[in-house]
Amino acid sequence: MPELPEVEIVRKSLNKKIKQKKVKKVIIRNRNLRLKIPSNFKTNFLNKKIIKVDRFSKYLIIYLPKDNYCLIHLGMSGTIHIVNNKSVNKYTNTSFYNSPFLPKKHNHVELIFENFKIIYNDPRRFGFFQLIKNNIDLIKRFSHLGPEPFDKNFNLNYVLNFFKGKNKDIKNFLLDQKFVSGIGNIYASEILFFCKINPFKKVKLLSKKECKKIIINSRKILLKAISKGGSSIRDFKDTSGLKGGFQNEFKVYQQEGVQCKNIGCSDIIRKKIISNRSTFFCDSCQK
């Protein structure tokens, strides 16, 4: 599943391409995604100008006229492709997640513009589109989620109060979207390595200094991942033919058996399973 940086790359690609563009035609080939595509979906888009594409956490938000919104969540296997009418489309994927080429199957939704179209592909159909009718409902829609790492509300007081008396380990908290939104398995492992905190450490045992490190490094790691174009777990490219480069920066994720990259450490990176997720860490550096 794409994490915050990968979704941000999709947002940037989409916003650049469809902002202030009018939708000429809508094709729905399969309404049966995780949430069934509503019957009024076409009317919300047809002949409407896209105001902008925003993002919260791992959700894309398409701003439509008259205070209407469309949320898109990519689920496990969803990808958004840009197909130009008048040029050869070697790479169509707006991010570095899954295939860079437009697949022949599972193209469920198409938004057709003047000289190009946007296609939503999702083999497993765990992604969804959701229409939101006003700003109040949009705010309510995300009320169950914690702040993003970049949010000013993700601060020391918030973290200390959230952790107070809790017995769960820090890795699970970083994956808990009710605590902080947008961090997934890749970046949680990387963040804790930079913090020098063991992923199994109970949050009630974390010091104030360690909590500060979590806030600082969450922002630092995600910003760096965004600047590098996200993480290409395989050799995939985006619509410009560029690859996500953050996978070249991994210190622990998928580095099991490799010597720790910290200067002076000769230990190897280990892998353990926490809540059915692979967790990578250095036993010597992360206490």
Q: What is the pLDDT of residues 197-248, one digit of tens each?
A: 999 999 999 999 999 999 999 999 999 888 876 554 443 344 554 555 555 6
What is the percent of the chain with per-residue pLDDT over 70, rounded to a whole number?
A: 92
The reply to whether 234 belongs to the active site is no
What is the rounded radius of gyration, in angstroms, for the C-alpha atoms of the chain? 20
Q: What is the pLDDT of residues 21-50, one digit of tens each?
A: 999 999 999 999 999 999 999 999 999 999
Residue 36, classed as helix, strand or coil, is: strand
Q: Which listed residue (2, 5, 100, 147) is catalytic?
A: 2
pLDDT at 246: 54
The reply to whether 277 belongs to the active site is yes
CATH of domain 4-141: 3.20.190.10
Cα 183 from chain centroid? 8
Contact indicator for 131, 40 with CB cutoff of 8 Å: yes
pLDDT at 90: 79
Q: Which listed residue (42, 219, 261, 277) is catalytic?
A: 277
| Domain limits, the chain | 4-141, 156-282
**pTM for the whole structure:** 0.90
User: How is residue 50 annotated by DSSP?
Assistant: P
The reply to whether 100 belongs to the active site is no
Q: State the fold for domain 156-282.
A: Helicase, Ruva Protein; domain 3 (1.10.8)
The reply to whether 228 belongs to the active site is no
Q: Which listed residue (58, 213, 228, 251) is catalytic?
A: 58
The dihedral region occupied by 47, where left means phi > 0, alpha psi between -120 and 50, and beta the remainder, is left
